[in-house]
Structure 1
Amino acid sequence: SCTVMNLLMIMMLFMFISLFSDSTSMLSCLLKLEGILLVMLLIVFLLCLKFTDISALTLLLPLMVCEARLGLSTLVNCIRFNGNDKLNNLAFFGK
């Protein structure tokens, strides 16, 4: 269980590095964020199995759903207004 947890933590670290290193499109950023949240869900699930408490899962799952919904709606609006999802063309705070 400890080696699985270490592997999941290393996997999450590499996903964070890949998220901040070369993310040019919003869709790739959203997919990387979903991967990070999936690894977090697996870590919380393993901890819940160890401590027999599922309250953390009931908190994390709705947060994951809300994050996915906000990300998808932001992606749709970005494509609708700009025509693409490239992050280097976006000006979030004006010019």
Structure 2
Amino acid sequence: MFKDFLVSTPDEKGKITTQTRKTQAGKTVYVLYEIGRTYNAAKKYNVPHRVVIGKADPNDPEKMYPNEKYFEHFPQTVDKVEPTEENSLRSCALEIGSFIVIDK
């Protein structure tokens, strides 16, 4: 589950990658974090192990919407979250309901 606020994309050299996937709504860019590597002796190369830590913001590529894995691997950034004010989670009926009660 992706959160509804933005954080800056971590700047760890060689550990952060992006992956673009086509969806019905367009293209989605996922941010992946490399947690380890396993050496494949038969093929003689390393196989990276990655987890998705968020989804990139289409308006600002330096920001991303984090998920639970982001806070597992970067617990020090919990205090640095930026809330978004674009869409309200309350419906119009709930907003007008308190006004009607106070007006009566």
TM-score, with normalisation over the residues of structure 1? 0.24
When Rg is computed on C-alpha atoms for both structures, the one with the higher figure is 2
User: Could you say which structure has the higher strand fraction?
Assistant: 2
Which has the higher relative contact order, 1 or 2, with Cα contacts under 8 A spaced 6 or more apart?
1
User: Could you say which structure has the higher helix fraction?
Assistant: 1
TM-score, with normalisation over the residues of structure 2? 0.23
